Structures are given as C-alpha cells and as structure tokens.
Structure 1
Amino acid sequence: MLIEKKKLNLSKKEAKLRAANYCAYQERSQKEVRNKLYEYGLYSDEVEDVLTDLIMENFINEERFALSYAGGKFRIKRWGRNKIKQGLKQHDVSEYCIKKGLKEIDADDYIATLCDLIERKAESLSESNVFKKQEKVSRHLIYKGYEPDLVWTHVKDLVK
C-alpha cells in the first residue's frame, strides 16, 4: 500500500518562503528543492521561477551542496569516494561539482579511515581462514564505496 503525499496548494510567494526556510535549515540540491516545490502544488514554470530566485539569492548553491554532502558522508557515515559520487549523481549534481566535492576529502584522512574500518571489521569477524576473512572485509569496504584496488592493497597488509 503506497502512501500518497498530500499536495499543498500554496501561492508562488508562500512556496518561495517555505522553500527558503527549507534551504536555510541545511544544504539542499536543486532536485530536492524542485521536488519540494512540486509538493507545494506549483506548476513547472512557477517551480523554475522560484528555483531561479532561490539560486540568485544564494539559498541554493550546487557547489556548496556537493562540498557539504561529500564532507558529511565521509566524516559521519565514513563512506568511500565511489558511494559519495553515486549519491551526488542521484541528486543530479554536475560532474564539475562532484569533482570539487570529492576534493573536500583529505587523502591522508581517507587512508586512515580506510585502515581503521579494515581493523574494526576484521576484529568483528570470527573467521579463522585468512583468505575468507580478507574477502569478507574487502567486500564490506567496497560496498561502503571504497576503491577495490585501494581496499585490497590495505586489506592484504592489515588482515592476517
């Protein structure tokens, strides 16, 4: 059973104020704000007008969103670059902004986080076969978005 979201029928001005508050609360992508404006009951030309106004007033900034998203997902959820890139693509962020966002992640912190995750996962497994343990740890980290070649390089050194 699908739960249908109730559309509000707000005026363009009311919708713009609500969208501005929505953007002020945390960084939002254009796609998120566009969807929210459609929920407010605006038509496509009105949605584009409001989006343009919000971009001009700097409530929405794709580059700022990419930096915030990449930094947050890495620091808080400890995602790898591949998963972060995939998430940004789902938000329809441009390739330029994705690259800019991924530069937010410091290379030394990235390797240190990867090694920490390898050690934690290896300790949590009760597998006695070293090769199976390495494979399970690697699969876990690749799923978290880390690059396979980088994962295997560090897993071979740390899991024994």
Structure 2
Amino acid sequence: MEKKSFTFEEIKLKLVNYCVYQDRCHAEVEQKMREFLLIDEAKEEIILYLMKENYLNEERFTRSYIRGKFYIKHWGKTKIKIHLKQKQISDKLISICFDEIHEDDYEKTIRKIYQDYYDKQSGLKDYQRKAKTIKYLISRGFEYEKIIDNFGNA
C-alpha cells in the first residue's frame, strides 16, 4: 500500500493534535515523526514550534505521567522512574517532578496495597505472607526501605 504524502503544514498540524490529545515527551513525538518522511531540518523546525507554542513541554509531561502512574495505576517511584528513563527523561527532571506525589499519600498507598495483598494470602505462615507481600510491593516499584519503614514489625 502506498503511503499517503502530506504537506509540511499538514504534518505539523497532525503533530500538534497528537500533543493536544495527551501530554507527550520528546521521544514520543520523535517516534511519531518517523511515520512521515521528513528531513532533519523539518523535524527540528516542528519540534521547536511545538515547544515554542507549549504543545510539547517535558516538565508538564513528566508531572502528568508521575501523577497518573501513581494516583491511578498505584506504581511506586522506582517503576515510574524506570519508565520515564525509557522515554529519555533526565534524572534531574524526574527528581524535581516527584513532588507531584505527596509523601503521606505514598505511605498510605504502600500500607493499603500491603494490607490488601497480605490479607489475600492464605494457607501460609505469617513470615511467608509477609515476605510474599514485600516482594509484591517491590514488583510494583516501591522501595524496599519505604516498605520496611511502614511494616518493619508488621
């Protein structure tokens, strides 16, 4: 099937819409641009335009990503950070944006997930339930130290 060709302005508009629909990071926009046969100068011009007009804002993307993954998906900071790094977001920006997660919400979430998962484990000795639950929280991206701080003597 032949690829439909678009004018520069049509491609620019498609990428504006792509960014308006949902916050995007540079890596996602660059990936999307690969669908269109653009020379490097055109890609650069579009990226600069999207940034200048605030359609593309790496900090806004990072903050919204962190909020969504924590408050909706209940991921821990470790898992969030790994996924943001895969999107080429810098450590510095990630650290700055982690203030989107309130510390008491973070600890409450750890306690709730811990309790829910712990209660579901049956037919196991207490220490086995505890070990399995801690392992589960780590797999969700929560830091071992944080889990132990909340459940040192659970």
Q: TM-score, normalised by structure 2?
A: 0.92
Structure 2 residue 138 is matched with structure 1 residue 139: no
Q: Which moved more, 1:124-133 or 1:50-59?
A: 124-133
Partner residue of 1:31 out of 6, 14, 27: 27
1:119 Cα deviation after fit: 0.4
Correspondence 1:1-160 to 2 at 5 A: 9-158=5-154
Q: In structure 2, do the counterparts of structure 1 residues 7 and 130 end up closer, same or farther at CA, with 3 Å as the change threshold?
A: farther
Residue 157 of structure 1: SS of its match in structure 2? coil
Contiguous gaps of at least 5 residues in structure 1: 1-5
Structure 1 range deviating more: 8-17 or 65-74 = 8-17
Deviation at 1:65, TM superposition (A): 0.6
Q: CA deviation at 1:11?
A: 2.4
Contact kept? 1:30, 1:62, Cα under 8 Å = yes
TM (norm. structure 1) is: 0.89
Q: Per-residue CA shift, 1:35-86, capped at 9, x if unaligned? A: 1011122233321211111001100000001100001100000011111111
The alignment covers a number of residue pairs equal to 153
**SS of equivalent residue, structure 1 residue 145:** coil
Task: Report the Cα distance in structure 2 between the residues aligned to 1:156 and 1:127, rounded to whole angstroms.
Answer: 22
Give aligned-pair identity as a percent.
35
